[in-house]
Amino acid sequence: RGSRKGLIDTALKTADSGYLTRRLVDVSQDVFTVEDEAGDDDGFTIFRSETELTMIDFGNRLYGRYAAEDIAGHVKAGELITREIASAIEADSEVQEAKIMSVLSTKNLRGVPRKSYGIDMSTNQIVDNAQPVGVIAAQSVGEPGTQLTLRTFHSSGVAESDITQGLPRVEELFEARSPKGQA
């Protein structure tokens, strides 16, 4: 009886995560990359101190992005931050922050400018024009959600003991709801 109940619970949870993925894809399916236009992106500032808290190297956080402002002695505004440049910035303790182009700071209403998106991490190439980045983002959230429900989600640097409410909490965040069970 216990194993059947476990299988049914897993099937229901997997259906929930699939439904979340479907809703995310429905919302984001019209988001594509577009050609860059001057003045599209004010930039998003990355601070070295914040990257240390997340255990992601400052240089790795900058790699594959375009600089929104000059980074003294390393890269000019609008240029790609290559792996070599990112390593040099990482080694330069004088650089405490860098402003990069980002999907979070773009003003373009037609889509995501290619420079704001950065490089495609699966190919290490500049992202193509008309790439369906909305669907890619939805799948990037949905797949780990499914893995959470199956308890096979593994990520380096993440404690396995508590996944902080898993998929229901992710849904609350996307739907901008207050957490259940809070006073």
In tens, the pLDDT along 24-68 reads 999 999 999 999 887 778 999 999 999 988 888 999 999 999 999
Helix, coil or strand: residue 172: helix
Which of residues 146 and 115 earns the better pLDDT score? 115
Give CA torsion, residues 87, 121, 138, 150, to 10 deg: -90
107: tokens are: 């003003």
CA distance 147 to 153: 5
Q: What is the pLDDT of residue 174?
A: 80
Lowest-confidence pick of 34-38, 99-103, 147-151: 147-151
CA distance 89 to 73: 9
Q: What is the pLDDT of residue 62?
A: 97
156-166: pLDDT as tens digits: 455 444 444 66
CA distance 28 to 22: 10
Report which residue type is found at 106.
T
Cα–Cα distance list, 3 to 9, 74, 178 (Å) = 10, 58, 34
CA distance 2 to 7: 9
Q: Contact 149/13 with Cβ under 8 angstroms?
A: yes
- pLDDT band for position 177 (cuts 50, 70, 90): confident
Q: What is the pLDDT of residue 172?
A: 83
Strand partners, 67: 100
pLDDT at 169 over 90: no
pLDDT at 105 over 60: yes
Report DSSP letters for 36-89, one per residue.
--TT-B--EEEEHHHHHHTT--HHHHHTT-BBSS-BTTTB-TT-B--HHHHHHH
* pTM of the complete model: 0.77
End-to-end CA, the chain: 36
Which of residues 70 and 2 earns the better pLDDT score? 70
